[in-house]
Chain A
Amino acid sequence: MLGEFLSPLNVALSALGVAAGILVGATPGLSVTMAVALLASMTYSWDTKTALALMLGVYAGGVYGGSRSSILINIPGTPSALATTFDGHPMAMRGEAGLAIGVATVQSVVGGFIGLLALILAAPPISELALKFAPRDYFLLAAMGLSLTGRLAGGSMAKSMVGAAVGVLVGLIGMDPITGEGRFTFGQPVLINGVHFIAAVIGLFGASEVIYQIGRIVRSGVPQARIAEVGGVLPGFRYFFKYLPVTIRASVIGVIVGALPGAGGDIAALLAYADAKRTVKKPSRPFGQGAVEGVVAPETANNACIGGDMIPMLTLGIPGDAVTAVLISVLFIHGLRPGPLLMVEQRDLFWFIAGSYGLANIFLFFFGLMAVRPFVKVVNINKKILMPLIVLISVVGTYAIQNNIYDVFWMIGFGVLGYFMKLGGYPVGPMVLGVILGPLADINFRRAMLAVQGNVPLFFWELVSHPISLVLTVILLSAFAPSLSIGGIVNLVRRRRIRREVA
């Protein structure tokens, strides 16, 4: 039972997932979120654990794979690899592409295992605590997730909030779970069951990206990126010990950002990069010109973030990022309710996920150091062939969710919507989180109101009089205070430390 993740089928799927994930992550235009959402639709008929083994492999491989194209062609393969371009590509330009890939691989694996350790240590006590959570606490957590996606997504906060708000509205479409009346259904029976989440994600991350890319390809021709020469890959593990302090700091940032509902690997990597830039006094080269530390920090943080993201997912049923939002819906599709009770009643599922993710990290290590050269060719595949094929898979995958042609129409509709959002600078990630977090916030807000019999002052009193609620309220309010963003907190801590050092 405990070693179920080691069954031959699950091991094989884990390996396959990691390999496919690296390819998906390394190909700009294919996102991990889209890949996992497509798999969620396809593996509907599979055993839950078998499906999870495959998806966790893709998750781990994809977050790592983004570094490949960052280093080799200066285009982040996934948003979480953006920070890796700052120094990874300059390294490649200096003829150190092999070293950069090697370092990225080792650090991703190390970050992955630290994240896993954090998950194993933190999840059981948090789930114990979560059993005491009242509906108002879940409301606060969901509201926190919604406001953090706006606060941290980079770019315009107002635009991220619009994305999250539209996502919430999409999530609310359908029959109200308490009164049974239709909300935003406009009397259409098709809408009473709501919009299928996976269909929306495939549209927002798959079809919209295709439309966007086609627009660019036709305008500017196929941009054949200049690919750096790849030298020896073996990283020299001496680097590992040399950069251990950066590694530890980046891991901590990754885990914490991951564990916050709504904030994912892209933010973790950028914060870790900024942190390394400020704390490393003598980098191997100036940052931005090929500093090894500039690859170590973001690559450690984005993989450490995976373990962090899974903490709220497994203990509270609240997604840490867009991919875990998809994983939550996978658990729902398979008839499981992610939350503290799942942790208590199905301990083996938790250990299966932890074990399977650990296994994926081991595969990541070997695949990451293997076959770098032929791999580059695959990543540089002609987009004019690839993009139409993505549409095909998106259409079929969406249909596969529940054999419903309307899901396909929704998927295409969200694809077109997502394209216009991208043009206007409205990120689609917060929208995906909104679809999951919105209904959670709504139902728990109303349960909390029922619990106080509609007495609003009593509701606010409970927010500050119960210790758990008080802590969550303070965190939620601090997310709205402009000077207390995550960056602000980092700055505050740093300033205090400098003062202490000076004194």
Chain B
Amino acid sequence: MAADPSPAAPRAKWSARAQAAGIAALGVFVFVRASRFTDFWSDPGSPGVFPALVAAVLLACAVSIWRQERSADEPAEPVTGWALLYAALIIGYGALLRPLGFVRSSLVFLLVSFLWLRAMPWWKSLLVAAVATGVTFAVFRYLFVVILP
């Protein structure tokens, strides 16, 4: 590892290739789907023609991304485990909306977020979570006339 002057470079290259492969796969998939729409092979006005054009653009982009080195101006942000965990927390929030209802799931989500991020002491977290949920509920219920589940 120490002999390699820039250990990030080959990783960036393989990352770009993986992205290119994913985009190409999407392009092929879209084309295959589009080719099955009504009259694709006989009518230039078929619902599949424009999606097929988009698939061609995706394939062209995949070629271009495969060949390009990661340019200097791009932020080389690594995936962070914390971000993924937080994404999972948001997904959990969405999943709890129906079983728990809006008020309870929002309270839980905010409280877990604040405590996990160590944003505030626990009593303050509880207070902010309760007030924010209450205000949001009231504003949507009365100002924007939305009935929340």
Contact = CB atoms under 8 A, between A and B. Distances in A.
Given A425-B75, A450-B45, A156 B51 contact: no
B119 A384 contact: yes
A454 B133 CA distance: 56
A159 B73 CA distance: 13
Interface string A392-432: 11011001100101001100100110011011110000000
A245 to B, nearest CB: 31
B47 A176 contact: yes
Nearest to B129: A388
B111 to A, nearest CB: 9
Contacts of B68: 156, 158
A422 B75 CA distance: 9
Given A172-B50, A184-B33, A384-B117, A396 B45 contact: no
Nearest to B98: A405
B50 A392 contact: no
A425 B119 contact: no
* Range for the number of chain A residues in contact with chain B: 35 or more
A449 B45 contact: yes
B86 to A, nearest CB: 4
Interface stretch (A38-46, A105-113, A309-317): A38-46
B44 interface: yes
A229 interface: no
Interface string A343-379: 0000000000000000000000000000000000000
A5 to B, nearest CB: 21
A391 B140 CA distance: 15
A161 to B, nearest CB: 5
A391 B93 contact: yes
B98 A392 contact: no
A456 B75 CA distance: 44
Interface string B66-88: 00100101110111101100110
Nearest to A157: B64
A215 B86 contact: yes
Interface residues of B, number: 63
Contact of B145 (A45, A179, A459): A45
Contacts of B38: 179, 181
A45 B50 CA distance: 35
Contacts of B74: 155-156, 425
Contacts of B148: 396, 399
Contacts of A425: 74-75
Contacts of A158: 60-61, 64-65, 68
Interface string A437-448: 010011001100
A416 B43 contact: no
14 contacts: A161-B61, A165-B57, A172-B50, A176-B47, A183-B51, A184-B30, A391-B90, A391-B113, A395-B94, A400-B144, A415-B87, A416-B87, A445-B50, A449-B49
Interface of A: 42-46, 155-159, 161-162, 165-166, 168-169, 172, 176, 178-179, 181, 183-184, 207, 210-212, 214-219, 382, 384-385, 387-389, 391-393, 395-396, 399-400, 403, 405, 408-409, 412, 415-416, 419-420, 422-425, 438, 441-442, 445-446, 449-450, 454, 456, 459
Given A159-B65, A214-B117, A425-B75, 6 more contacts: A158-B65, A158-B68, A181-B37, A183-B37, A389-B110, A391-B90
